[in-house]
Amino acid sequence: MAPARPLTHDLFKDVLEAVGQELTEVRITDLREGVFYAELVFASGVEVSARPSDAIALALRTGTPIYGSDTVLDDAGIAIPDEQEDEVEKFREFLDQISPEDFGTSSQ
C-alpha cells in the first residue's frame, strides 16, 4: 500500500535529489551507554549526525553503503559460527533457484 504523501525518509530522499546532494555513505560511529550514533556523509564532504535508525532507513532508500566502526562491531557485533554461515549460503543458493511458481497455487 502506497501512502498518499511521502513518509519522512522518502521525503528526505526526494529533498536530497531536488537539491542535487548525494548521500555517499552512512557510518555507525559509536555505541555509548547502550545508544548507537551515526553520521550521514555527503559527496560534498559534509557530515551530519543522525539517529542510526533514520540513517539506515535513508541508506536503504538511496542504495547507500552502510559502515560500522570496528569499535562498534567489536562491542555490539554478533559472530556467526562457520556452520551457520554455510547454512545461510545454502539457503541463499536455494532462494536464487526458486520462483513463485514453484510453490503452486491454492484453489481455496
Kindly report the backbone phi and psi dihedral angles of residue 57, in degrees, each rounded to the nearest multiple of 5, phi listed first: -60, -40
Q: Of the segments 63-67, 71-75, 95-99, which one has the largest average pLDDT value?
A: 63-67
Residue 73 to residue 75: CA distance in whole angstroms? 5
- Mean pLDDT of the region 10-20: 91
Helix, strand, or coil (residue 40): strand
Confidence of residue 89 (pLDDT cuts 50, 70, 90): confident
**pLDDT tens digit sequence for 34-63:** 999 999 999 999 999 999 999 999 999 999
Is the pTM above the cut of 0.75? no
CA separation, residue 63 to residues 24, 59, 79, 87 (Å): 9, 6, 25, 27
Residue 55 to residue 50: CA distance in whole angstroms? 6
